Structure 1
Amino acid sequence: MRVVSIIADIAVDDVGEAKGFYADYLGLSVEEFSLGWVARYTSPDTGAHLQLVSRDATAPVNPVVSIKVDDVEAALAEAQERGYEIVHPLTMEAWGVTRFFVRAPDGNVINVVQQHQE
């Protein structure tokens, strides 16, 4: 497994209400996608980005970060071999990713995700 990118997942009460601060004030004005409960915003100047998450629609908890990998099945197998708690099972999501959530030994929940090829 190789890490491709890392995206901070910011917990917010309402994605729409939070947009003003993150998109307008901070300049993360490019909305890459929005599902209502999650939206990714990116700086048009630097490519820096983050995701706003109100309540994950298909998982029991919100992650603190999303780690994109090149082989999500290998990542899951290694997490299981190491005895890490899988909080959300390997799932192919309707929005074009396959992912699972793993709890780090420090308690943080990590979204390990692979983008589907188009």
Structure 2
Amino acid sequence: MRATRIMANLHVADVEAAKSFYTDYLGLRTEEFNMGWVARYTSPDTGANVQLVTRDASAPENPVISIHTDDIEGAYEEALRLGYEIVHPITTEPWGVRRFLLRAPDGNVINIVRHRD
């Protein structure tokens, strides 16, 4: 699998309540999206970013990171072949991404994702 970007997913109780720390203090002022349960904030100067997550909308567990790839189908097949635990099967989500979640050998849940073109 080829990772094209890795994004931290920070668990928060409430995206709106947490927002000002990340936007005002850390300078991640650009809100790329906000779906209520997940929001991404980015620095307009550096491109540094983070996702705030309350509770994943469709998966049974929250991922700690999101790994973007350009070959989601290949990544899924490789994960199956290697015997990794699939936490959430490959799915095209209503918000447009195609993704699956797996458990890394260390126990962390990872979101493998491809955004629509």
Name the TM-score, length of structure 2 as normaliser.
0.98
Please tell me the residue identity of whatever aligns with 1:47: G
The alpha carbon displacement at 1:95 in A equals 1.6
Match of 2:89 in 1: 89
Listed as ranges, the matches of 1:51-66 within 5 Å are: 51-66=51-66
Distance 2:38 2:73 in 1: 24
Corresponding residue for residue 3 of structure 2:
3
Identical counterparts, % of pairs: 64
Does residue 32 (structure 1) correspond to residue 32 (structure 2)? The answer is yes
Deviation per residue, 1:54-79 (Å, 9 max, x gap): 00111101000000001111001000
Amino acid at match of 1:67: I
The answer to whether residue 101 in structure 2 is matched with residue 101 in structure 1 is yes
Aligned to 1:16: 16
Task: Indicate the residue corresponding to 2:73 in structure 1.
Answer: 73
SS in 2 for 1:74: helix
Following superposition, which runs of at least 4 residues in structure 1 exceed 6 angstroms of deviation? Answer: none
Amino acid at match of 1:90: I
5+ residue gaps, structure 2, are none
TM-score by length of 1: 0.97
Give the Cα–Cα distance (whole angstroms) in 2 for the partners of residues 107 and 45 of structure 1: 34
SS class of match (1:62): coil
> Using the alignment, how far apart are the partners of 2:45 and 2:23 within structure 1?
13
Letter of the structure 1 residue corresponding to residue 76 of structure 2: L
Aligned Cα root-mean-square deviation (Å): 0.6
Post-superposition Cα deviations, 1:58-104, rounded to whole Å, max 9, x if no partner, equal 11010000000011110010001000000001010122210000100
